[in-house]
Amino acid sequence: MADNLIVKDAAGTNQPVQISVEMYRSAEEAGQSLPQYLNSQHPTNVQRDGTAFQQLMEQCGIFVRADTDFGIRPTRIEDILNPKDAASNVVTKEGVPVSRTLFPAVLLGVIEDKVQYDWKQNVDGFEKMVAQDDFINGDRFERPVISYAQVEKARGAPVAQLSEPNAILKITSSDRFQRIPSWGIGMEISEQAMKATTLDLVGLIMARQMLVESNARADAHILSMLQGDVDTGFGGSALSSIPGKVRTAASFDPSITQNGVLTQRAWVKYLSNNSRKRRITHIVTDIDTALAIETRTGRPTNFNDDPNSPRIDTLQSIMNPKWPTNVQVFLTDDPNWPANTIMGFDQRQGIHRVTSLSAQYSAVEQFAMRRSTQMRIDRGDYAYRLFDEAFDVLTLTV
């Protein structure tokens, strides 16, 4: 039984551990991955002995990388799914080899390790733009509806003793639940391939697929901030359908008469617009429009200025600047992004993302219990505009 597995705790004492498929559900309810759950349940001296999950992997004979000093080779898939030696043939209370039960969690860890930072620029960029991240169990989400119109109109008034203030902020829930869509990637491996394929190679192959898809998902989330999501009805309407949300550069500077042209006057006025309700911290645009921002007409320079020259002069310093000192630029290469379009928003109140934790391990039980050679890894998440007031769009189309 899995009680034969032990974890050396922080005090150096061996503690028995029982592994079962049900632990995935316990980890889900705790809002953790299986490795995180096991490590939190069994604290160890990581520097000396490794984490609890790492110790269990070693006892089950699961090694991701080779270690030439000790003659260890990367574990083959066959030895994980259908172990034959006694050291790794420990079974759970359901009668399933522990190595097979741990395999989905191990594989996800390998995939994450293979994902290099410079391969997932869009994903990392989107992560930095999210204002609010929520994680839920299951795939049903009830979106809050926040009415803040009265907050902006309200003003202070005398209050009698023990009297209650007027309610100015109303928070309700939507009339119907939304189902978070999930995306699955499947793996099927033949008996012959299991004997020749290592865990490291499988992780590399699946990581490649994950990189391509996750970058595409990030692009889709960002585009939905601009255009809404009419397919699911979850992301709201397009910003262009909201009065005053889309402005042309020419509306800020009438001297602009050509498409793709931006001036310093239009740029500063755009950033300053609506500054009492938000301050643009991030913009999303394509590279051509970003270059138009970079080469805008009238952009201040100091190349020909000599600050030490003897002259009568004075410099102005704005006490209440209505524009940011630095704007973060996300360059999108999404072919669906409209040309000459800049979407600016306040990162602090712009994007709300909801992730379904259960989707990631939804197929684990079937894989482990049926001893299948097929496996599916699911993930579900959704992003939408938290406050429309946080967004403003500028187009360089006359």
Whether the predicted pLDDT of 54 surpasses 60: yes
What value does the mean pLDDT take over residues 75-103?
A: 71
Domain ranges of the chain: 2-115, 116-155+165-299+320-398
Burial class (CB in 10 A: 0-12, 13-18, 19+), 34: buried
Say whether pTM exceeds 0.75.
no
Split at pLDDT 50, 70, 90, the class of 117 is: very low
- What's residue 62's pLDDT? 84
Pairwise pLDDT comparison (136 vs 123), residue with the higher score = 123
Average pLDDT for the chain: 77
Pairing of strands 351-356, 132-136: parallel
Length of the chain: 398
What is the CATH topology of the domain spanning 116-155+165-299+320-398?
phage-related protein like fold (3.90.1690)
Q: 160 vs 57, which has greater pLDDT?
A: 57
219 pLDDT higher than 80: yes
More confident residue, 122 or 186: 122
Per-residue pLDDT tens over the stretch 356-388: 755 455 556 556 555 555 666 666 778 888 888
Q: Residue 1's pLDDT band (boundaries 50, 70, 90)?
A: very low
- The span from the CA of 135 to the CA of 28, in Å, is 10
Contacts of 144 (CB under 8 A, 6+ apart): 171, 172, 173, 174
* Tokens describing residue 113: 């390790």
pLDDT in tens, 167-213: 555 555 554 556 676 666 666 666 666 666 776 677 676 667 667 77
pLDDT of residue 315: 74
| Tens digit of each residue's pLDDT (9 = 90 or more) over 285-343 | 999 999 999 999 999 876 666 667 777 777 778 888 888 889 999 999 899 999 999 99
